[in-house]
Structure 1
Amino acid sequence: MKLDFWLRCPDFLAHELLTEVEQERQPAGPTLRLVAGMIGGVAPSLHRYPMTKYLYGAYERPDNALALLASRKHIAVRRVNESSSNARRDYYLLPRGQEAATALQADIPEMIWYVRQAQAIGLIPEAVTGGRMRQRQYEHEAYKAVAAGKLIPDITEEVTLRAQELSARLGLTWPPDTQQDAAGGGHG
Structure 2
Amino acid sequence: MENDLASSVPDAPVTSREQDAVRLLLLIRGAGQKPTALELADPGLGKAVGVVRTQVRLQKLDFWLRNPDYLADELLTDYETSKEPALLELAGRILDSEEPEVRRYPMLRHHFGAYEPLDDALAVLRSSGLVVRRRRGTVNHVRQHDYYLTQHGDQVAQRVVSEAPVFSYYVERVALVVALADGLGGTALKERQYLQREYAEAARGTRIGSVSTRARARLEALRAQSAANDNEGES
3-state DSSP of counterpart to 2:180: coil
Structure with more of its chain in helix, by fraction: 2
1:184 — aligned with what?
Answer: none
TM-score by length of 2: 0.67
Q: Could you say which structure has the greater relative contact order, defined with CA pairs below 8 angstroms and 6 or more residues apart?
A: 1
Structure-2 separation of matches of 1:110 and 1:37: 17
> Once superposed, what is the RMSD of the aligned Cα atoms?
1.9
Query: Alignment identity in percent?
Result: 32
- Greater shift after overlay, 32-41 or 99-108? 32-41
| Number of positions where the alignment pairs a residue of Structure 1 with one of Structure 2 | 170
1:17 — aligned with what?
Answer: 75
Could you tell me which runs of 5 or more consecutive residues in structure 1 were left unpaired when the two chains were aligned. 173-188
1:56 — aligned with what?
Answer: 112
Q: Is the 8 A contact 2:79 2:85 kept in 1?
A: no
Q: Work out whether 1:141 is the aligned partner of 2:197.
A: yes
Letter of the aligned partner of 2:61 in structure 1?
Answer: L
1:4 — aligned with what?
Answer: 62
Letter of the aligned partner of 1:108 in structure 2?
Answer: A
Q: Is the 8 A contact 1:80 1:89 kept in 2?
A: yes
Which protein is bigger by CA-based radius of gyration?
2
Q: Work out whether 1:47 is the aligned partner of 2:94.
A: no
Q: Is the 8 A contact 2:109 2:115 kept in 1?
A: yes
Q: Work out whether 1:90 is the aligned partner of 2:146.
A: yes
3-state DSSP of counterpart to 2:189: helix
1:161 — aligned with what?
Answer: 217
Structure-1 separation of matches of 2:181 and 2:114: 19
Instruction: Note the C-alpha offset of 1:29.
Output: 2.2
Letter of the aligned partner of 1:29 in structure 2?
Answer: P
Instruction: Note the C-alpha offset of 1:44.
Output: 2.0
Residues 143-174 of structure 1: CA deviation (Å, up to 9, x unaligned): 111000011011111111111111221228xx
Could you tell me which runs of 5 or more consecutive residues in structure 2 were left unpaired when the two chains were aligned. 1-58, 229-235
Letter of the aligned partner of 1:3 in structure 2?
Answer: L
3-state DSSP of counterpart to 1:30: helix
Q: Work out whether 1:73 is the aligned partner of 2:129.
A: yes
Change (3 A) 1:36 1:127: farther
Instruction: Note the C-alpha offset of 1:89.
Output: 1.1
Letter of the aligned partner of 2:107 in structure 1?
Answer: M
